[in-house]
């Protein structure tokens, strides 16, 4: 197909006409029309290049030639379902299992992260015979009905009566903003004890725990890094109650954290989940995913007497693409690149924290990093509007970044793994400029980190559109006539 068939306005109009209105788009007031991509760059219909700091799906780089070639060559030969024998399926399963602890040896191939997590719940329910699920505050695990039930990121606005009563929400193990913070003597045990107490509460009401599910590092929840030892202790409590542990690696797997191939391995060699789910980066943009579990869990699933069949899961083309992704990660040392460039990025961001009062926390591992913006470092008042201003100003300078977390004040870095130190220099340099202008407009100084709360409490809250809050003509109310820079104001027109 041609790179562009319709002019941008026609594309927008047709999207509004034929695509469901709940299917949102980035930068909705002025969306970007992308027609091609390569490596860590995306190009619009005018040929303008954007640095992509968002796409953890294009794991080894957009349109990597080795991945494209592997898929095209297999597609020319055969693509069919897994009821026929084909070597690609078993070869890929073998390669994938080699990256995991020996205990995790049985694969189920599916087509999306949502499908993988949904199947993981089915495995847990069948293996344990229990129904109750413990999930984490601000978690997101997918869009199908069973996963909306366990995703507070989505269901938090529902009333208690509308929520699934067999789903229980434990505190996010956030040591910056959470219940137990970095100054706590043992936040891992404190957060794990919350899960232990929750299990007791479930038992008192006659429930039984089937599983605890968590992203190995929370993404939509705000790039949260659990304290070391937390998962081990949670797993001990959950298994003692007859449940199992599901590690969701859909966002953070395949070497992104640099030091390890899987993010759950950050907890230590003594921690092995009972089920691991994966998606997004597994196919570099090709729709595929996987559930890996133990022999015991798989055999229990089979004992139900119900056959499991997935039409497209594990087809020869998907497995050829998945194998090519693993090959590229190894050949180009992308896990090592994530460690090196991620470390460099972290150092640059830490320098911004020393310079800018709006920067409250820098956290992450490898090429999975978060910058939490706050109005006051003592009260941790979220700088939601300011974070949105940063990403919109970056977009004007052809850099694509997103903001998330429960307050949408965390700048999220999860770029393709071919991201370079030069790319890091560029984006952090632009963030530095934008924060400098914002802080000047707001009258913020690092020495005293003046709270914006007194000046903003009488203002109307910023308008929200598609989950993004726009800063608007935010001015300094304490006698200053300065508002935002003109370029920032232009975003609302």
* pLDDT at site 162: 83
C-alpha to C-alpha distance for 73 and 33, rounded to whole angstroms:
29
C-alpha to C-alpha distance for 61 and 41, rounded to whole angstroms:
8
Residue with tokens 């934008």: 434
Residue with tokens 């068939």: 5
C-alpha to C-alpha distance for 27 and 223, rounded to whole angstroms:
21
Please report the DSSP string for 122-143 in residue order.
HHHHHHH---EEEEETT----S
Residue 486's contacts (CB-CB under 8 Å, 6 or more residues apart) are none
Nearest to 287 by CA among 255, 250, 242: 250
- pLDDT, one tens digit per residue, over 224-277 is 999 999 999 999 999 999 999 999 999 999 999 999 999 999 999 999 999 999
Q: CA-CA distances (angstroms) from residue 313 to 218, 279, 327?
A: 26, 12, 20
Nearest to 466 by CA among 392, 398, 411, 358: 392
pLDDT at 79 over 70: yes
Task: Please state, for a pLDDT cut of 70, what percent of the chain lies above it.
Answer: 90
* Mean of pLDDT values over 403-408: 96
8-60+334-490: which CATH architecture?
Alpha-Beta Complex (3.90)
- 8-state DSSP, 107: E
* Mean of pLDDT values over 275-295: 97
CATH class of 65-331: alpha beta
Nearest to 435 by CA among 493, 342, 353, 379: 353
**b or e along 205-215 (b: 16 or more beta carbons within 10 Å of the residue's beta carbon)?**
eebbbbbbbbb
pLDDT at 470 over 70: no
* pLDDT at site 481: 33
pLDDT at 112 over 50: yes
Task: Please state, for a pLDDT cut of 90, what percent of the chain lies above it.
Answer: 85
Parts of the chain belonging to CATH 3.90.1150.10: 8-60+334-490
121, burial (CB in 10 Å: exposed 0-12, middle 13-18, buried 19+): buried
Instruction: Give the N- to C-terminal CA distance of the chain in Å, as an integer.
Output: 34
* pLDDT at site 156: 82
**b or e along 70-100 (b: 16 or more beta carbons within 10 Å of the residue's beta carbon)?**
bbeebeeeeeeebeeebebbeebbeebeebb
Q: CA-CA distances (angstroms) from residue 415 to 55, 70, 370, 423, 463?
A: 5, 23, 12, 10, 28
**b or e along 369-382 (b: 16 or more beta carbons within 10 Å of the residue's beta carbon)?**
bbbbbbbbbeebbb
The lowest-confidence range among 142-156, 271-285, 382-396, 419-433 is 142-156
* pLDDT at site 484: 44
Nearest to 226 by CA among 255, 248, 197, 198: 248
Helix axes 384-396, 421-442, angle to 10 degrees: 130
As given in the structure block, the two tokens for residue 471 are 């800063």
Top-confidence residue, 162 or 439: 439
The lowest-confidence range among 121-135, 163-177, 438-452 is 438-452
Parts of the chain belonging to CATH 3.40.640.10: 65-331
How distant is the alpha carbon of residue 478 from its chain centre? 38
pLDDT at 125 over 50: yes
The lowest-confidence range among 83-92, 311-320, 479-488 is 479-488
* pLDDT at site 305: 86
SS3 content of the chain, % helix, strand, coil (to 5): 40, 15, 45
- 8-state DSSP, 217: S
What does the mean pLDDT of the chain come to? 91
pLDDT at 468 over 80: no
pLDDT at 446 over 90: no
* pLDDT at site 467: 36
* pLDDT at site 447: 60
* pLDDT at site 38: 98
pLDDT at 482 over 60: no
Q: What is the pTM for the complete model shown?
A: 0.91
- Give the side-chain half-sphere CA count within 13 A for 489: 9
* Mean of pLDDT values over 460-483: 35
Strand blocks (E) in 10-114: 34-38, 41-44, 49-52, 106-110
Residue with tokens 């107490």: 197
């Amino acid at each position: 197909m041609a790179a562009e068939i319709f002019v941008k306005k026609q594309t927008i109009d047709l999207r509004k006409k034929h695509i469901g209105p709940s299917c949102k788009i980035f930068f909705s007031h002025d969306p970007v029309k992308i027609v091609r991509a390569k490596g860590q760059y995306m190009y619009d219909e005018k040929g303008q290049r954007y640095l992509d700091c968002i796409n953890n799906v294009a794991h080894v780089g957009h349109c990597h030639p080795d991945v494209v070639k592997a898929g095209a060559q297999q597609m020319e030969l055969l693509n069919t379902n897994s009821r026929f024998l084909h070597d690609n399926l078993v070869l890929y399963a073998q390669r994938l299992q080699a990256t995991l602890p020996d205990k995790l040896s049985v694969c189920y191939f599916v087509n999306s992260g949502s499908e993988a997590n949904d199947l993981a719940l089915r495995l847990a329910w069948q293996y344990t015979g229990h129904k109750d699920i413990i999930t984490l505050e601000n978690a997101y695990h997918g869009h199908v009905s069973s996963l909306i039930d366990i995703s507070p990121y989505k269901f938090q606005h529902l009333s208690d009566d509308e929520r699934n009563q067999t789903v229980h929400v434990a505190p996010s193990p956030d040591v910056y903003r959470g219940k137990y913070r970095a100054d706590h003597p043992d936040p891992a045990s404190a957060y794990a004890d919350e899960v232990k107490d929750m299990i007791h509460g479930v038992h008192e009401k006659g429930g039984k725990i089937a599983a605890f599910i968590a992203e190995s590092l929370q993404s939509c929840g705000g790039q949260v890094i659990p304290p070391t030892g937390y998962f081990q202790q949670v797993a001990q409590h959950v298994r003692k109650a007859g449940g199992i542990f599901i590690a969701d690696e859909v966002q953070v797997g395949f070497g992104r954290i640099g030091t390890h191939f899987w993010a759950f391995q950050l907890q230590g060699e003594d921690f092995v989940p009972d089920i691991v789910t994966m998606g997004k980066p597994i196919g570099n943009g090709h729709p595929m995913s996987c559930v890996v579990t133990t022999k015991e869990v798989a055999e229990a699933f089979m004992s139900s007497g119900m056959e499991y069949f997935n039409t497209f899961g594990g087809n020869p083309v998907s497995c050829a693409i998945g194998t090519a992704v693993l090959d590229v990660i190894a050949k180009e040392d992308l896990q090592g690149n994530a460690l090196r460039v991620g470390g460099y990025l972290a150092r640059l961001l830490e320098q911004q924290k020393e310079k800018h009062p709006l920067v409250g926390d820098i956290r992450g591992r490898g090429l999975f990093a978060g910058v939490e913006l706050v109005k006051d470092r003592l009260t941790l008042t979220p700088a939601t509007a300011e974070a949105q201003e940063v990403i919109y100003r970056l977009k004007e300078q052809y850099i694509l970044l997103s903001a998330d977390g429960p307050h949408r004040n965390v700048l999220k870095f999860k770029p393709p793994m071919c991201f370079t130190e030069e790319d890091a220099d560029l984006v952090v340099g632009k963030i530095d400029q934008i924060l400098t202008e914002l802080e000047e407009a707001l009258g913020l100084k690092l020495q005293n980190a003046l709270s914006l709360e007194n000046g903003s409490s009488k203002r109307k809250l910023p308008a929200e559109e598609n989950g993004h809050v726009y800063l608007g003509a935010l001015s300094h109310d304490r006698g200053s006539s300065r508002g935002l820079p003109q370029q920032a104001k232009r975003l609302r027109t």
